[in-house]
Amino acid sequence: MKTRALILAAGKGVRMRSDMPKVLHSILGRPLVWYVADAARQATGMQPVVVVGYGADQVRQALGDAVDYTIQRQQLGTGHAVLQAEELLRSQADQVLVVLGDMPLLTAESLQKIVDQQSRHQGALTMLTIVQSEARGFGRIVRDAAGHIQSIVEEVQASPEQLKITELNPSVYCFNGAWLWDALRRVPLSPKGEYYLTDLVGIAVKDGLSIQTVAAEDMNEAIGVNTRIHLAEATALMRQRINNAWMLAGVTMVDPQTTYIEPGVRLGQNCVIWPNTYLQGDTIVGEQTTLGPNTIVRSARIGSRCEIIAALVEQAVVEDEVSVGPFARLRKGAHLGRGVHMGNFGEVKNSYLGPGTKMGHFSYIGDAEVGENTNIGAGTITCNFDGKQKNKTEIGKDVFLGSDTLLVAPVRLGEGAQTGAGSVVTHDVPARTLVVGVPAREWRKLGENG
Ligand code: UD1
Ligand code: CA
């Protein structure tokens, strides 16, 4: 039985008060609709189809080719939106799972249950239901005396009696594909001038077909984002869900309330995360690493047994047993070898620091290659930009840079070279040579032990 998911995302989302389509507002670094698409893909095992309309190009750009698209040029209602996928899906799916693009908290497990229920019963449709006293504008599920579903009534059209119904329609359905497309043609125009998908329920009843329901276990799953207040609520719940999963997987969080982990992040066992820490993008962290407090990691690879405190780490690679911070910044292309110590007020960009190298205080290393076990003295700076272009600095292993050394690139320092405090190095320094002064000159050759 082949099930395809259809995600409705053609509306503007007027209450967001934004030019950006509602489904592109983000939760933990990803657009709302990404979460829906991800859950739908997991539940069906197939690429979902997204109905786009308002801001179609932006939605396409955000989701790329991970989904298929169909366009709804005029927003004539949810029923009309589904009909736009007929050409794409009629011959391609035995069942169609319809979800709204603004429900990021729906889980793949719940969607799976609905799909399975529909596969077993083969009625007209299976739908998710919630029971909740706060109606939030949801359609009411109307049942007859025997408890059989009769119809869904939209809030604007509900009678005072119907408004009291607490069984609500979150708008998640799995339809029998053979029935769906022709039934959609029988949906009447509503007084609001829209074709309501919800009218299919009444039509199924008239056709004498069965309607199955699956009750939501977690009410939060049904939260639809209509305003920025809902967006903040959904963000908090998603954060909690992600954090709980990591804690169950063996990560300690000192304060989950102030720990922000995006869905693309991977963490090893026994990591400890201190408060006010943001792990973003496709960051990967090894085991037993301590992050934070006050640390932001964006799309970086961090090894095992590292300690990173009060740092901003972006698109960098940090190998095992490295310590960074407090107040450190690793920029794009920074690569710290095993056991590197990078202390306070340091910045590294597009540079490799070999294993065991120490950079304790107040340094900038940019566009450089540094060998192992080199000591980068306090205040060392690679002067990598000559006003026109970036130039490279190469520093060998076992080099000792005195405090306040300025390395005017392009420049190379051989293995075991040393610089005196305050040196301004403008020429290459041969191996095992001490240079001092401004500009730095050879002072003496060094023996085996300096
Ligand atoms: C819909 C349901 C309601 C349910 C609620 C849950 C209908 C008629 N009503 O109401 O029973 O309780 O969802 O949130 O279906 N969309 C399109 N094209 C359109 C119209 C809508 O793509 O022409 C998309 C929107 O982008 C939105 C979603 O469908 O993401 C829901 O549309 P909306 O108009 O907000 O429906 P509700 O009034 O919330
Ligand atoms: Ca809505």
Range of the domain at 112: 3-222
Task: For 250-289, give one letter per residue: b (16+ CB within 10 A) or e.
Answer: ebebeebebbbbbbebebbeebebbebbbbbeebbbbbbb
Best residue for ligand 1 mutational test, from 22, 50, 75, 100 (most atoms within 8 Å of Cβ): 100
Residue of 223, 173, 219 lying closest to 199 (CA atoms): 173
pLDDT at 115 over 90: yes
State the CATH number of the domain containing residue 123: 3.90.550.10
Is the model's pLDDT at 298 over the cut of 90? yes
Task: Tell me the whole-structure pTM to 2 decimals.
Answer: 0.94
Which contacts (CB < 8 Å, 24+ apart) does range 86-90 have?
A: 86/181, 86/184, 88/49, 89/4, 89/6, 89/49, 89/177, 90/177, 90/181
Residue 447 has pLDDT above 90, yes or no: no
What pLDDT shows up at residue 5? 98
Rounded to whole angstroms, the Cα distance separating 127 from 184 reads: 16
Q: Does 450 score more than 70 pLDDT?
A: no
How far is ligand 1, taken at its centre, from the CA of residue 210, in Å? 23
**Which pLDDT does position 136 carry in this prediction?**
87
Residue nearest to atom 6 of ligand 1 (CA): 170
Among 195, 222, 249, the domain boundary falls at 222
Residues 299 and 438 in one domain: yes
The tens digit of pLDDT for each residue in 388-439 reads: 999 999 999 999 999 999 999 999 999 999 999 999 999 999 999 999 999 9
Tell me the CA–centroid distance for residue 224 and ligand 2, in Å.
6
Atom number, ligand 1, closest to the C-alpha of residue 13: 26
Radius of gyration of the CA atoms of the chain, in A: 30
Q: Which of 222, 253, 276 is the last residue of a domain?
A: 222
Which of 184, 203, 222 marks a domain boundary? 222
Residue 48 lies in a domain: yes
Q: Residue 80: count other Cβ atoms within 10 Å of its Cβ.
A: 20
Tens-digit pLDDT profile for residues 192-230: 899 999 999 999 999 999 999 999 989 999 999 999 999
Q: Quick check: is 361 catalytic? A: yes
Nearest to 407 by CA among 386, 420, 423: 423
Instruction: Give the amino acid at 206.
Output: K
Contact 369, 395 (CB under 8 A): yes
pLDDT at 449 over 80: no
114 burial type by CB count under 10 A (0-12 exposed, 13-18 middle, 19+ buried): buried
List, chain by chain if needed, residues with CB within 6 Å of any ligand 1 atom. 8-11, 51, 53, 72, 75-78, 80-81, 100-102, 138-139, 152, 154, 169-171, 196-198, 224
Average pLDDT taken over every residue of the chain = 97
Phi, psi of 84 (to 5 degrees): -65, -15
Give the whole-number percent of the chain exceeding pLDDT 70. 100
pLDDT of 448 reads: 74
Is it the case that residue 297 has pLDDT exceeding 90? yes
Report, as an integer, the average pLDDT of 373-380.
Answer: 98
Same-domain status, 66 and 155: yes
- Nearest CA owner, ligand 1 atom 28: 100
As a residue count, the chain comes to 450
Count up the domains in the chain and report the number: 2
Average pLDDT estimate for 362-382? 98
Whole-number Å distance, alpha carbon 88 to ligand 2 midpoint, is: 25
pLDDT at 175 over 70: yes
Residues 160 and 274 occupy one common structural domain? no
Task: Look at residue 24 and tell me if it is in a domain.
Answer: yes
| Residue 393 pLDDT | 98
For residue 169, which ligand has an atom nearest its CA?
A: 1
Same domain, 184 and 213: yes
Residue of minimum CA distance from atom 29 in ligand 1? 8
CATH of the domain at 326: 2.160.10.10
Q: Which among 7, 134, 171 is the best mutation to test ligand 1's pocket, defined by most ligand atoms within 8 Å of the CB? A: 171
Spatial separation of the C-alpha atoms in residues 360 and 417, rounded to whole Å: 19
Section 92-108 average pLDDT: 97
d(CA 418, CA 259): 43
Instruction: Answer for the pair 249, 266: CB distance below 8 angstroms, yes or no.
Output: no
Ligand in closest contact with the CA of 13: 1
CA of 246 to the centre of ligand 1 (A): 33
Q: Which residues contact 408 (CB under 8 A, 6 or more apart)?
A: 383, 424, 425, 426
The closest ligand to the CA of 226 turns out to be 2
Q: Give the per-residue pLDDT at 122.
A: 85
User: Per-residue pLDDT tens for 314-360?
Assistant: 999 999 999 999 999 999 999 999 999 999 999 999 999 999 999 99
Output the six-digit token pair for 267: 């963490």
| 3-state class (DSSP) for residue 256 | helix
Task: Find the mean pLDDT for residues 252-261.
Answer: 98
Q: Strand locations in 257-305, DSSP E?
A: 259-261, 266-267, 272-273, 277-280, 284-285, 290-291, 295-298, 301-302
Look up residue 71 and give its two tokens: 């366009």
Mutate which of 72, 78, 197 for ligand 1? The one with the most ligand atoms within 8 Å of its CB, which is 78
Same domain, residue pair 92 and 187 = yes
**How far apart, in whole angstroms, are the C-alpha atoms of residue 435 and residue 439?**
9
The answer as to whether 54 is a domain residue is: yes
